[in-house]
Structure 1
Amino acid sequence: MESPSLMFKAVILFIGIIMTTANDLDPGNDFEKKSEDVRIIKRVAWGAQPATDSPRHLKVQPAPYAIISHTATQSCYNKAKCILNVRVIQTFHIEAKGWLDVGYNFLVGGDGNVYEGRGWDMAGAHTHNYNNRSIGIAFVGDFSYKSPTKEQIAVAEKLLESGVKSNKLVKDYKLIGQRQVVHTQSPGDKLFAIIRAWEHFTSNP
Structure 2
Amino acid sequence: MSFVHHSSGSHCYTLDDCSAVVRAIQRMHMDSNGWDDIGYNFLVGEDGRVYEGRGWTTLPAHSPVYNYFSHGTCIMGDYMTAAPEEGYIIPDYELFGHRDGRCTDCPGDVLYSIIQTWPHYSFREIPIIC
TM-score (norm 1): 0.59
Give the number of aligned pairs: 125
Give the Å deviation of 1:112. 0.3
After TM superposition, list the pairs within 5 Å mapping 1:59-78 onto structure 2. Answer: 65-78=1-14
1:181 to 101, 118, 123: 101
Give the Å deviation of 1:132. 1.0
Give the Å deviation of 1:199. 1.1
Q: Secondary structure at the match of 2:71?
A: strand
Q: Secondary structure at the match of 1:176?
A: strand
Larger Rg: 1
Percent of aligned pairs sharing the same letter = 40
Structure 2: segments with no counterpart, 5+ residues: none
TM-score (norm 2): 0.92
Letter paired with 2:84: P
- Does 1:105 pair with 2:41? yes
Give the Å deviation of 1:106. 0.1
Which digits, 9 at most, give the CA deviation of each residue in 1:107-141, with x for residues without a partner? 00010000000001221110111101111000000
Segments ≥4 residues shifted beyond 6 Å: none
**Residue matched to 1:17:** none
The whole-number CA distance in structure 1 between the counterparts of 2:15 and 2:82 is 20
1:192 to 112, 122, 127: 112
Q: Secondary structure at the match of 1:191?
A: helix
Give the Å deviation of 1:88. 0.5
After TM superposition, list the pairs within 5 Å mapping 1:11-50 onto structure 2. Answer: none
Return the structure number with greater helix share.
1
Using CA pairs under 8 Å that are at least 6 residues apart, name the structure with larger relative contact order, 1 or 2: 2
1:131 to 67, 82, 85: 67
The whole-number CA distance in structure 1 between the counterparts of 2:117 and 2:58 is 28
